[in-house]
Amino acid sequence: MEQGGTRRCGALGRPDGSVHWRVWAPRAGKVDLVLIDSDRRRRLPMEAEARGFFRRTEAAVQEGQRYAYRLVDGPERPDPCSLWQPDGVHRPSAVLFPERFHWSDAAWVAPQREELVFYELHVGAFTPEGTFDAIIPRLAALRDLGVTAIELMPVAQFPGARNWGYDGVHLFAPQNSYGGPHGLARLVDACHTHGLAVFLDVVYNHFGPEGNYAGEFAPYFSDRYLTPWGPAFNYDGRASDPVRDFVLDNVRLWIEDYHFDGLRLDAVHAMYDGRPVHILREIKETADAAAARRGRCAVVIAESHLNDVRMLLPPERGGHGLDAEWLDDFQLQVHAHLTGERHGKYVDFGRPNDYGRLLEHTFILDGIYSEYRGRCWGAPADGLPGDRFVGSVQTHDQVGNRAFGERLGALVGSAARRLATSLLLLAAHLPLLFMGEEYGEENPFLFFCSFEDRQLIDNVRKGRQRDYGFAAGVRVPDPQDAATFAASKLSWSWPGGSARAGMRRLVQDLLAARRWPALRDYTRRTARLLPDENTAAVLHLVRGATDPEADAALHAYFNLTAQPQPLTGTDGVLLFTSEATRYGGDRADAAAPTELRPYECVVFGPAAWGSPPFPSC
């Protein structure tokens, strides 16, 4: 359980200017601390503690001091709890004093959970420079768009300078090529200055394959569980207490020392833990306590493929108490329906008549049979409100795990893309946009890396070709090639009058519309298919009331087909159409339509809702 605000291992600064080193290394009979100054090395024996810990204190240590450990008389190894790897994953660690970061966000008040609009970005591909500092000039544009929170893909130190981030091996050390710990602190502070919350994607299910020396120190990895990416963390076996402490200290670092507003936990279904109090519950409790020490709250979001709301239920109801979880069913349904793809997970999705279940009840796979998994999957959402779920149309995962990293705009027409965005931003959940999605970026987002181990490089190349090249029938882009990374960078451009400008305006208007009372109500919603579930040509979504006649209700109609569809019996005044000329469509008439154009979305509601900042049609 939460133990307070002090890390238990690593290079720990003291008020008197000394540094106390502590490392967990039960697999070593002895450990030496090596202090490195240019070519001079001082090898200092560490004192053994109980349960495999070793310690050493040195006076008058400067920030940036390089150091390493030698286990018995082996090679120098970086600190598993290193806060700073200025020279990469294989080189010595450096002393960092997070308490000396300069902050200007004392008055920061984060948005409430129901106000969150996420913008997922990859630090390296978001700007030409690929650094934390280079993001800062773009924050105002994101705020003006209507985004309220940026979500950084993982920044824990990985091999080389190019990687998605899920191969991190120094979980406490922000990537050196992005600007390291000081650059990250500046970015978080700037986000708060611009009125944006900041979330960090963290990986607590596995370590990356290169530069991973933790196993030489201690049993960080389970001998019982495997993930698709390597050995799982040892959360419940022998000597698992320090492993749990390691992860909880990491949570505390991001929330307390770096001022993050919350965390996104990668693939929690691969975090195996059979102990009475699950590690997910302890992560949430630790994040809450760390935030409370700064007078704030923390939001912890899970990526889970299980469709299991025990992630979200409070402990007294048998749950882990997390704040929200990614809603994979939304992305899978929209993508499969609009593209017609049915390979892999998409085989269970894409039927138009499933939209009613998705929009009204959250999960499609809510205990029904999954062809992809060959068994029943998931469970009902237990009546939880929509702001406990994060929906998306595109993410790094769904775009990048394709042979050629195509975004949705490369697979469907402009009207269908506007429909997908309208579904995302009008549905009763928290929306997430993937960088560039807001203006229809054409550049792909490919899988890229910059490993140094030749055998690993070869294995990754073969694996990508095996997994993604077969269906394409051609060779997939080489993930190790710098050109693959360069091709994935944003163009960050939406010239006036262009289709990109129209798409961005649509996103901006719909995000402004989320201030309407009906769209702030995540509980009351109904969804039905017209003319009926068997034909399912039009989806009618009602937000803000269960009674379709209620004055405060929003009525959204989505043409799910590529053919015109009749529209009758609407309520309220026309507030929005995705086919308006301002968005790149060709509907210039502000009168309420009697026919929906292919893939058109229209919204009706009280006339007062059409006033600025949301323009009426």
Residues 209-243: b if buried by 16+ CB within 10 A, e if exposed: bbbbbbebbbbbbbeebebebebbbbbbbeebebb
- Which H helix or E strand runs over 125? helix 123-126
| Integer Cα distance of 16 and 382 in angstroms | 53
Q: Active-site residue 99, yes or no?
A: no
For CA atoms 103, 106, 108, 112, the dihedral sign is positive
Residue 454: closest CA among 209, 165, 167: 209
Token pair for residue 580? 């308006």
Dig out the tokens for 484 from the structure: 């693959």
Contact present, 398 and 437 (Cβ < 8 Å):
no
**Which of 249, 303, 323, 437 does the annotation list as catalytic?**
303
Among candidate residues 330, 307, 324, 435, the one with its CA nearest the CA of residue 393: 330
CA atoms of 551 and 605, how far apart (whole Å):
8
State the amino acid at position 481 in one-letter form: D
The answer to whether 105 and 261 are in contact (CB under 8 A) is no
Q: How many CB atoms lie within 10 A of CB 193?
A: 13
In angstroms, rounded to a whole number, what is the distance separating the alpha carbons of residues 39 and 43?
13
Distances (CA, A) of 218 to 39, 43, 145, 247: 29, 21, 47, 14
Helix (H) or strand (E) holding 67: strand 66-71
60 backbone φψ class: left, alpha, beta (φ>0; ψ -120 to 50): left
With left for phi above 0 and alpha for psi between -120 and 50, is residue 482 left, alpha or beta?
alpha
Set 201, 210, 257, 266: catalytic member: 266
Choose among 9, 14, 45: nearest CA to 30. Answer: 45
Sequence-ordered strand ranges (E) for 341-427 = 369-370, 375-376, 389-392
Cα gap 267→362, rounded to integer Å: 19
| DSSP label at residue 580 | B
SS3 at position 325: strand
DSSP 436: T
| Active-site residue flag, 129 | no
- R_g over Cα of the chain: 25
Q: Which residues are catalytic?
A: 266, 303
